[in-house]
Structure 1
Amino acid sequence: MTGNTIEELPGVGPATAEKLRDAGYSDLMAIAVESPKVLAELVEIGESTATKIIASAKQMADVGGFETGDIILERRKGINRLSSGSKAFDELMGGGLESQSIIEFFGEFGSGKTQICFQLAVNATRPVEEGGLNGDVFIIDTENTFRPERIVQMAVALDLDPEEVLKKIHVARAFNSHHQMLLVEKANELAHEMNVKLLIVDSLTAHFRAEYVGRGSLAERQQNLNKHMHDLLRFADLHNAVIAVTNQVSSKPDAFFGDPTRPIGGHIVGHAATYRLYLRKSKGGKRIARLIDSPNLPEAEAVITVSEEGVRD
């Protein structure tokens, strides 16, 4: 079978195809790697029908086949890099923040996590040759920290038209963890009509931490957090986008993680994030960014400044 469109799947008529696309399944691979239960719920079909559709998608998309390293290398050439505004930070990240990956910034209150995200949002709207991604930005704001005034300051500092920049940044306020997860699905739908190249979640864990309290709810919390992280990673892959998430550290040794500088979310967040960066305050408005975890880069540090103009060396 050599079909490449959803309509060519056995048992998928125009109505089901439309439902699949609305739910964010724009290609065969997305369907092939989904679980029947999730697909059945999202597309409102029976689980046995979903199982058949997934089985056909697997055949047509050739899932489970191994690829040689050179083919993967070729595909990785399509990865884009987003500049942070600081040369030292970009070098730490191997030339900027990589698309098709999740970059997690964690640190104490006031360590500059949100400010860095504002700067990334501004930079992502810039042309590729200026270190941008020439695209739109989605921000899922969980703690009501988005300030358009800061975007204006940073845009003006780069000689950009602040109004044009603000028009490319789309913000949704998440009121609880369930809403936060739904917004990723919504973002997926909207991204088919827009050139979304950066998705920010600030903060990733605040709602989860507030809603699931105590050891009894830990398993459920981690399960939902795991799904959320995988939805974000899928968004990154489907749209060749950068995902930037902020995370808090436990301010006191707590029952879950012990260490006061440990990010919230434990191994679930740790394994799903492609790059993990620990931010801490230094003298005179400086911040130290330490790359803690990466698939291909050494553990190292960069010093950046966060001023009214934004992120700089």
Structure 2
Amino acid sequence: MPQEDLEDLPGVGPATAEKLRDAGYDSFQEIAVLSPGELSNEADVGESNAQSIISAARDDADIGGFETGEQIKKRRDRIGKLSLQIPDVDSLLGGGVETQSITEIYGEFGAGKSQVTHQLCVNVQLPTEHGGLEGSAIFIDSEDTFRPSRIDDMVRGLPEDVLEDTLEQRGILGDPTEDSTLDSLVEDFLDKIHVAKAFNSNHQILLAEKADDIVKDYEDGEWPVKMVAVDSLTAHFRAEYVGRGELADRQQKLNKHLHDLVKLGDLHNTAVVVTNQVAANPDSFFGDPTQPIGGNILGHTSTFRLYIRKSKKNKRIVRLVDAPNLADGEAVLRVKDEGLKPE
């Protein structure tokens, strides 16, 4: 996103423009989607002045008004689909994980949620003809789940034709069956995954804000950020806010965090994938008692919700629980040494 002249906005002089940029706001569109309170707190400007700045930014950015269905269709034509390389799961998702959306994956411990985020960190870098987005990834790690060795396994486990095209795309010479060639390819894949470990919920929120800076830095480059993964979204919030007395505070902070991620995906045409923990509902006498945590705030904010559960051996059942334009359904995948594979 090109930097715009913020001083063109009414009430914004050089000093205020500098405050806005220091707070991370370089464009009219980013300012237009803020509330006066947010802008006032983050950029240290008066709330009445913040309201005037936001109103002017909305006019210049042409945001917040009504659009025709045809205009929305044209905007949605920009949406990319990130393939999992598993036809049944991709079909379940209408072609793959969408950009400009939050896709939530929930399930019990060991179900394979982190396997999915690792596989997507690989697949997002693949050529478009193989279901990738030819972009880099950001991985916010709150449970110490990111493993470079798993990326290594998944890159080496790509089909031979995909490996050949990926090597050509990156200008890496060599035979895709030779270890030295694959070593270079794995190193190149890892170099395009930006990982940060979140130590608590406040740090996690800050990392989501910092992710926006990374997306901007790479936006006009050869490898723009096309996916942001948060694994897990709710672990720190669940551990730090215990009991009903703290539930309201937890949900308020989680709500802000989610909207930062929504804004990130929407403004930069990036896929946002979050994993979520579950709890057992003791009142459930029939069916699966497993429920995602995060309440209605997470349920309403996630565009797509996937429930992944264990089956026999390395088999996993993926169920689409909620989507605005897709029917519920199930698909099967297998978690193998070389990555996620079809049934």
TM category (shorter chain) comes to: over 0.9
Q: Determine helix, strand or coil for the equivalent of 1:304.
A: strand
What is the aligned partner in structure 2 of residue 186 from structure 1? 210
Q: Deviations over 1:149-178 (max 9, x none)?
A: 000110111236100000000110000001
What is the aligned partner in structure 1 of residue 23 from structure 2? 23
Say what the alpha-carbon RMSD is for the aligned residues.
1.6
The answer for unaligned runs of 5 or more in structure 2 is 164-181, 219-223
Once the 2 structures are TM-superposed, how far is the Cα of residue 46 of structure 1 from its aligned partner?
Answer: 2.2
What is the aligned partner in structure 2 of residue 253 from structure 1? 282
- What's the TM-score once normalised by structure 1's chain length? 0.93
Once the 2 structures are TM-superposed, how far is the Cα of residue 35 of structure 1 from its aligned partner?
Answer: 1.1
What is the aligned partner in structure 1 of residue 141 from structure 2? 141
What is the aligned partner in structure 2 of residue 288 from structure 1? 317
What is the aligned partner in structure 2 of residue 211 from structure 1? 240
Q: Is the 8 A contact 2:307 2:321 kept in 1?
A: yes
- What's the TM-score once normalised by structure 2's chain length? 0.85
The answer for unaligned runs of 5 or more in structure 1 is none
The percent of aligned pairs where both chains have the same amino acid is 58
Rounded to whole Å, the distance in 2 between the matches of 1:13 and 1:251 is 55
Q: Is the 8 A contact 1:22 1:189 kept in 2?
A: no
Q: Which structure has the greater CA radius of gyration?
A: 2
Q: Deviations over 1:55-94 (max 9, x none)?
A: 2112323344211101100110000110112111101000
Rounded to whole Å, the distance in 2 between the matches of 1:233 and 1:56 is 23
What is the aligned partner in structure 2 of residue 197 from structure 1? 226
Aligned residues: 306
Once the 2 structures are TM-superposed, how far is the Cα of residue 264 of structure 1 from its aligned partner?
Answer: 0.5
Q: Is the 8 A contact 1:100 1:233 kept in 2?
A: yes
What is the aligned partner in structure 2 of residue 115 from structure 1? 115
Once the 2 structures are TM-superposed, how far is the Cα of residue 14 of structure 1 from its aligned partner?
Answer: 4.2
What is the aligned partner in structure 2 of residue 177 from structure 1? 201
- 1:268 and 2:292 equivalent? no
Q: Is the 8 A contact 1:23 1:185 kept in 2?
A: no
Rounded to whole Å, the distance in 2 between the matches of 1:19 and 1:117 is 36
Rounded to whole Å, the distance in 2 between the matches of 1:277 and 1:231 is 21
Taking the TM superposition and a 5 Å limit, the aligned residue runs for 1:1-313 are 5-158=5-158, 159=163, 161-194=185-218, 195-251=224-280, 253=282, 260-313=289-342
Rounded to whole Å, the distance in 1 between the matches of 2:226 and 2:16 is 28
Once the 2 structures are TM-superposed, how far is the Cα of residue 284 of structure 1 from its aligned partner?
Answer: 2.8
Q: Is the 8 A contact 2:281 2:291 kept in 1?
A: no
